Amino acid sequence: MDNGKTKTELDWMRIQKAVAAGKLKAGKDQCFGFFMVLWLNRIRQDVKESTFSRYHFLLRTHIFPELGQIPLTELDNGILEDFVREKRTCGSRNGGALSPKTVNCLISVIKQVLHCAAEEGCLDRDFKIHGPRQRKPEIHVLERGEQKLLEQMAMEDGSLVSLGILVTLYTGLRIGEVCALQWKDISLEYSLITVRQTIFRIQEYDAPESEEAGRKSRTRLILSSPKTEASRRKIPIADRLKTYMQGYRNEPETYLLTGTEGYMEPRTFYGKYRRFLRECGLEAYNYHALRHTFATRCVESGADIKSLSEILGHSDVSVTLSRYVHPSMEQKKMTIEKMFLSMEQYGPGFAGG
């Protein structure tokens, strides 16, 4: 094979170049891979770079090798069901099963490519693809005692990493958002943090083709505006946190976590965070647990859910309720006791004593 590339990789490159040059036109006799490339080209200007990178990776790595060479006229529900079944059992690079979330992402991309083919007038039949049921991920929330210990240890440590931990614990910032936070985004005078950007790592899709690149997954960091309009937001800073942050105030262009004009990437910060947890003798909670903890404490204190949803950067209150609100057993018991108290006005009985 040319430069060590597989036939599948060469076929993918050939179709990309032919579509870009206008040498291939839409038609019912085209292979499914043609419509994959056509769809990618159409959405490229309309989605975030991270989203496009994800779609590109899923198509090139998982979908095109299995379905790309199949003529559109021969594609049917049976072929797609076999594809999903294989991915659910041995679809990963090491031969294991892909997660239900990834399989459902693959199905979503396939459906969008099929829709593209239908819009071109090349598809006149419906497809039904059933994905696996996804379990809700396990949610970690720090107990109040753990939270107080983490807060105390972070304040005593006094490092910029500890400052970042405290900021997330009391604002709910995501890890990419706190890594991208500069002092020009922080107004201690008005007690506000403005979330303008985030840092995340994406799959490299425009890297030069080489044998090595074909064998290794390559990624790169990007500093970008948040994915959604709701994520671009202003967050109030509590007075206690503002007082603590006063001692760290820096030049506008410097980053909160480094004190320089260079940022710290999320996985580096995450590694430092995990080491700090070990030093505190705390369980190895993932970083998102701080965000869960912030949301849960807000709810426990009677916070308005709409306000909390905007602070967290959600476009829909239902996301906040289903994903971040985790009442404790104590809260649940109080809810039931309140119900009994409300019944006392109706006179004697079980509810009235």
Q: Helical H runs in the chain?
A: 7-20, 32-43, 49-58, 64-67, 77-90, 100-119, 144-157, 160-169, 175-179, 211-215, 239-245, 266-280, 288-300, 305-312, 317-323, 329-343
Distance from the first to the final alpha carbon of the chain: 84
What confidence category does residue 254 fall into, taking pLDDT thresholds of 50, 70 and 90?
A: very high
Q: Are 67 and 117 in contact (CB under 8 A)?
A: no
pTM for the structure as a whole:
0.77
What is the per-residue pLDDT for 140?
86
Q: What is the pLDDT of residues 177-216, one digit of tens each?
A: 999 999 999 999 999 999 999 998 887 765 544 333 444 5
- Is 246's pLDDT higher than 90? yes
CATH top-level class of 144-284: mainly alpha
Instruction: Classify domain 2-119 by CATH architecture.
Output: Orthogonal Bundle (1.10)
Q: Are 68 and 36 in contact (CB under 8 A)?
A: yes
Whole-number Cα distances in Å, 244 to 152, 169, 229, 300: 12, 14, 30, 24
Domain boundaries, the chain: 2-119, 144-284
SS (H, E, C) 24-36: CCCCCCCEHHHHH
Percent of the chain at pLDDT exceeding 70: 88
Close Cβ partners of 239 (under 8 Å, ≥ 6 residues apart): 191
Q: Beta 186-187 vs 192-195: how paired, if at all?
A: antiparallel
Q: Helical H runs in 171-238?
A: 175-179, 211-215
CA distance 126 to 117: 12
Region 42-50: what's the mean pLDDT? 89
Which run of H or E residues covers position 186? strand 186-187
Close Cβ partners of 329 (under 8 Å, ≥ 6 residues apart): none
CA distance 119 to 337: 57
Region 146-153: what's the mean pLDDT? 95
Name the residue with higher pLDDT: 62 or 211: 62
